[in-house]
Amino acid sequence: MYPLFFILFLSWLVYAIFHNTSQAGIKVRTYQVQEGWGYQILLKDKVYIDQPFIPVLQGKVAFPDKRSARQAGKLVKQKLVNHKLPALTKEDLKMLGLDNLENAN
């Protein structure tokens, strides 16, 4: 019951924040972290998502380079524009070519 409530609440929150927001209002910014790269999703220049690590992997594994962090951020941005949950999945990591990092941890 609680997981369903959480998913519904998160869906509503994402919809409420990004409803009537054009794709131009959402930006992706990459930045360096100690072991690699992370990304931020900005709405009207305010940080809404700060992701210094790859969220699907256990531990704190940073994106290996700026390009992969940007690609992941763009995918999350696209999910938000399409009113989907901004979560990366293992399938997303495979599509981005980052699935091999799980064994490196």
- What is the per-residue pLDDT across 7-30, written as a single tens digit (0 to 9) for each? 666 666 666 655 554 556 889 999
* pLDDT at residue 13 in the model: 63
CB-CB contact of 37 with 31 (8 Å): yes
Question: d(Cα 21, Cα 71) in Å, to the nearest integer?
Answer: 21
* pLDDT at residue 31 in the model: 97
76-96 tens-digit pLDDT = 999 988 888 888 999 999 999
Which residues lie below 8 Å from residue 48, measured CB to CB, with a gap of 6+? 17, 41, 42
40-73 tens-digit pLDDT = 999 888 999 999 999 888 888 999 999 999 999 9
Question: d(Cα 72, Cα 79) in Å, to the nearest integer?
Answer: 11
* pLDDT at residue 19 in the model: 55
pLDDT higher than threshold 70 for residue 37: yes
pLDDT higher than threshold 80 for residue 103: no
Question: d(Cα 27, Cα 5) in Å, to the nearest integer?
Answer: 29
CB-CB contact of 72 with 88 (8 Å): yes
* pLDDT at residue 11 in the model: 66
Question: d(Cα 103, Cα 71) in Å, to the nearest integer?
Answer: 21
